[in-house]
Amino acid sequence: MEVGRYLLPLLDDRISSRVRFAQISLQITRSLVLRIFLRLASLIALSLIATACLAGCSSTAFSPTQVTPLRHGNGIVMGGEQPVTGSTIQLYQVGTTGDGSTAVPLGSSTFTDSTGSFSLTGKYTCPVNPTLVYLVARGGNSGLSQGTNNPQIVLIAALGLCSSLSSSTYITINEITTVAAIAALYPYTMSYSAIGSGTSDASSLSSAFTLASEFASNATGSSPGSGVPSGYSVPISLINTLADIIATCIDTSGGSAGQNNACGNLFTDSAGATPTDTVGALVNIFNHPTSNTSGLYNLVPPSPAFVPSITAQPSSWTVALSVSGPYTNYSSYYTIPFVGSPSLKSLGTNLLHIDAYAATTSTAAGTTASFIVDTGSTGVVLPASEVTGYVNGAGTAGSITYSSSGLTLSGYYTNAFVSFPTAVNQNGVATTAQASLPVLAVTSATCSGNGINPCSTTIPHMLGVGFGRATTTYASPIYNPFVNLAEMSAGTMRRGYTLTSSGVQLGLTNATVPLASPFGGATSNYYIGEQLTASGAFPGYAYDWDTPTGSFVYAGTPTASGTVLFDTGLTDMLLENSGVAGGTTVPNNTAITINAIPSLVSYSFNSGDSGATTPTSVNWADYTHGVFVNVGNHFLGKYDYLYDADGGILGLRPESR
């Protein structure tokens, strides 16, 4: 079938209810009076809503604490329902020398007054060239005794193009705008004063600013924002919950990691480099969205300022737009960490492993071993002696050969249960995931000497989870452990998986990888997908899927269209092209570009350099597959990986690691 193009957003909770905010246009000058007025306004609003509902109204969540603040000047800084006084306000233009590069203060700073209000009039001049800007509020007092200053307060609003600002622009900076900004911008953020990109991904940073404006309104400080694409929704409850979490620090006198106070607990519970302010904590949370979800969720106060909020601990803090798609009817998935938590941007000679074991019955305990996750082959292989309950010689004689090394493993295919003991389910609960499928119980290993890479006769532990590997049954989806979980066979879990810095996710849901077609330009929140061509059908499976299309450019010379294999079982790269003999290594400093998912994914490197996507070596192989490139596993230095076995989708998600 024709190659199609899709973008797949990585998303979290979908919440359709939206909070409506009343706007009050009076002015006052004393913070105490402001707080009293807000309380009265909320009661009046509730009364009006109740009266209106006598005539019938829909069920819409309403928070009495979320009344739009009184307007005074160009904006206001709020901590929960309290104005933040004495906060330093600074406009920044984004950095342009790389992801997380130092931003440039634009104009002079100012301060919030006793009502939390500030004015930017006369404080800045926009650059001549189009420039993305954001506004930061640092320090201040959120309703505490006079003279108190919380240095851990850092709140932010992603404003977009400087030229879009005017004297009538009103800006609310609060926890909601901060969560929205960092949720969209975190791949380009090192700190509140280091948000930027290089020239190659400047358009992606611009798209991220647009996404932030969809997550929340800078005018009202509420979620959702404006311009949300038709058919999509914003995870309002999740954004509100994260805002409630950082509000616990904002509304105090401050603290540091290790201290038993609100700020100390927030900084301690956010994984990554120890933060010293609320933006730093959010950057950590979004870079490690599945880490310590319980500890962070426990920081939500009994009476949160922002509602609706989520009612149970999430499995991930990822914030993204959600959309109806083919995964709407699925809610189950497992996450399995890679052994050793490797850095995907510096894999070197390392392969990815997860813990697993095999047994002939579903209840038998097995010997846990570290298995290589290999998207370049299909089938589970391990020493026959490690298959619990296996009787030597039982099953169907068979073998598998790895062409890159010339290694042939021989033994018997026997029905078994492959278990993943370190799996965590969608509710964050440790639960062993289990697949039922034939495995190759290996009894011997031989090397042919015909491979490009070194060969060892030590029997490996391999989880071959690839597709399109051959036309034989032994290389079919029947033998892929990642698409044969019990829930997948029962039809309650979508067959497929992702590989990200968080590990392996087995099962696809609308909460994690919904499918949209199309969705515009790629950013760090979206997978770019290719509709694969169906190949042979196998029992229990409509199709296997062909290797994706692509090409490469070698030393400035492009090849004809061929195929591209994303193979996590290798650390080097293999090239095949007409007229080039196999068996030689590409010289260092040779420029190579990989083109995949036609016209949408492309990355380049010079052989031998130290880039995140540069393989350990690049080798020519015999011309047996047509124009072909096996990219190895170093593509993970830049891209997350998605395979939808039911829908035939290969997806890559650009990610700043």
- The angle that helices 278-287 and 236-250 make with each other, rounded to 10 degrees, is 140
59-79: average pLDDT: 52
* pLDDT category of residue 18 using cuts at 50, 70 and 90: very low
Residues 306, 270 share a domain: yes
Residue-range definition of the domain harbouring residue 65: 33-323
For residue 125, tell me if it sits in a domain: yes
What residues are paired with 380 via a beta bridge? 463
53-77: average pLDDT: 43
The answer to whether residue 29 scores a pLDDT higher than 60 is no
* pLDDT category of residue 610 using cuts at 50, 70 and 90: confident
For residue 155, tell me if it sits in a domain: yes
For residue 519, tell me if it sits in a domain: no
Structure tokens at 337: 């960490």
Check residue 522 and give its pLDDT: 39
* pLDDT category of residue 472 using cuts at 50, 70 and 90: low
For residue 564, tell me if it sits in a domain: no
Between 471 and 165, name the one with better pLDDT.
165
Would you say 316 and 288 are in contact if contact means Cβ atoms under 8 Å apart? no
CATH of residue 408's domain is: 2.40.70.10
* pLDDT category of residue 235 using cuts at 50, 70 and 90: confident
- E strand spans, 297-448: 322-323, 334-336, 353-359, 369-374, 378-383, 387-388, 396-402, 407-420, 424-425, 433-447
**CB-count burial class (<10 Å; 0-12, 13-18, 19+) for 85:** buried
For residue 482, tell me if it sits in a domain: yes
Task: Single out the residue in 494, 511, 543 at which a domain terminates.
Answer: 494
For residue 228, tell me if it sits in a domain: yes
The answer to whether residue 568 scores a pLDDT higher than 60 is yes
- Rounded CA-CA distance 180/235 in Å is 10
Residues 362, 258 share a domain: no
Task: Single out the residue in 494, 509, 528 at which a domain terminates.
Answer: 494
Convert the pLDDT of each residue in 302-346 to its tens digit: 999 999 898 888 888 988 876 555 677 788 999 999 999 999 999
Nearest of 346, 366, 350 to residue 358 by alpha carbon: 366
Residues 424, 295 share a domain: no
Nearest of 478, 460, 482 to residue 402 by alpha carbon: 460
The answer to whether residue 68 scores a pLDDT higher than 50 is no
The answer to whether residue 656 scores a pLDDT higher than 90 is no
Residues 297, 378 share a domain: no
* pLDDT category of residue 234 using cuts at 50, 70 and 90: confident
Residues 420, 311 share a domain: no
Residues 301, 373 share a domain: no
Check residue 111 and give its pLDDT: 96
Structure tokens at 562: 């061929």
The answer to whether residue 23 scores a pLDDT higher than 60 is no
5-15: average pLDDT: 33
Residues 339, 300 share a domain: no
The answer to whether residue 428 scores a pLDDT higher than 50 is yes
**∠ CA(339), CA(340), CA(346), 5° rounding?**
110
- Rounded CA-CA distance 160/119 in Å is 18
CA 335 to each of CA 11, 238, 506, 567: distance values in angstroms, whole numbers, following the listed order: 15, 20, 6, 21
For residue 118, tell me if it sits in a domain: yes
Check residue 322 and give its pLDDT: 67
Helix (H, G, I), strand (E, B) or coil at 327: coil
Convert the pLDDT of each residue in 188-198 to its tens digit: 999 999 999 99
* pLDDT category of residue 519 using cuts at 50, 70 and 90: very low
The answer to whether residue 31 scores a pLDDT higher than 90 is no
- Rounded CA-CA distance 151/515 in Å is 42
Residues 397, 424 share a domain: yes
Tell me which of 139-143, 364-368, 527-531, 635-639 is least confident. Answer: 527-531
Residues 466, 398 share a domain: yes
Percentage with pLDDT > 70 across the chain? 83
Task: Find where tokens 């309002």 sit.
Answer: 236
- Rounded CA-CA distance 474/478 in Å is 8
Convert the pLDDT of each residue in 236-293 to its tens digit: 999 999 999 999 999 999 999 999 999 999 999 998 899 999 999 999 999 998 888 9
Residues 169, 255 share a domain: yes
Tell me which of 45-49, 140-144, 215-219 is least confident. Answer: 45-49
For residue 614, tell me if it sits in a domain: no
Question: The whole model's pTM is what?
Answer: 0.56
Residues 346, 238 share a domain: no
The answer to whether residue 626 scores a pLDDT higher than 70 is yes
Residues 277, 232 share a domain: yes
Check residue 231 and give its pLDDT: 59
Hey, how many other C-beta atoms are within 10 angstroms of the C-beta on 97? Answer: 11
Task: Single out the residue in 494, 526, 543 at which a domain terminates.
Answer: 494
Question: What is the total count of domains within the chain?
Answer: 2
Would you say 494 and 484 are in contact if contact means Cβ atoms under 8 Å apart? no
Would you say 246 and 178 are in contact if contact means Cβ atoms under 8 Å apart? yes
Check residue 50 and give its pLDDT: 33
